[in-house]
Amino acid sequence: MNNIKKLNFDDLKLLNIFISQEEQFNNFFNLGWNFQNIENHFKKENNLSFGYFYKNILCGILIGETIPNNNNLDLEIHIMFISSSFRRKNFGSNILNHIQTNKNLTNISQIYLEVAENNLKAIKFYEKNNFVFFKIRPNYYNDKTNIINARCYLKQI
C-alpha cells in the first residue's frame, strides 16, 4: 500500500535512517544539507515536507517550506529525493500530485524550486510534471568541486 504523509519534527529519526541508507543523498550533503540543517529546517513553523511510504517503508521525501503570497502560500521545494530502488515508479509525481490534490488543505497556489543545470534527470522530471522554467541563478550551487548555475522552475496549482 502506498501512502503520502506530512513529515514533522517527530519523523526526524525515521528520516535520518532513510537518508543514511541512501548513498546518492550525498549529493545534497555536498550542497550543505546535512542532518543538522535538516533538523533545523524541521523546527521551522513553515516546514512543509512529505514522505512517500510503500508497504510502510519510507522510500521518498520532499522537504520544503511555505512562503506567504497574498491570501495563499507558495511552496519552495528544497529537496526531492526518491530512493534509487523506487525510481521510475511515479512516486515523485505522486507526491507532487498529492500537494495539488490537497491544495485546499495546504493553501498552496504555486510551487518553486531550483535545480542544478547539470542535473538533467531532475530537469526532465520537473518539466514532465508541468514545471515551467523562468530564470537562471548564476553560480548558485557549489558542490566542493564545481560551481553550477541553478535553473529556477515554477508550477501553478
In the chain, the domains with their CATH numbers are: 2-156 (3.40.630.30)
Is the pLDDT reported for residue 142 higher than 60? yes
Q: What is the pLDDT of residue 125?
A: 93
DSSP the chain: -EEEEEE-GGGHHHHHHHHHT-GGGHHHHHTT--HHHHHHHHHSTTB-EEEEEETTEEEEEEEEEEEEETTEEEEEEEEEEE-GGGTTSSHHHHHHHHHHHTHHHH-EEEEEEEEETT-HHHHHHHHHTT-EEEEEEEEEEE-SS-EEEEEEEEEE-
Encode pLDDT of 115-140 as tens digits: 999 989 999 999 999 999 999 999 98
| Segment 15-38 mean pLDDT | 72
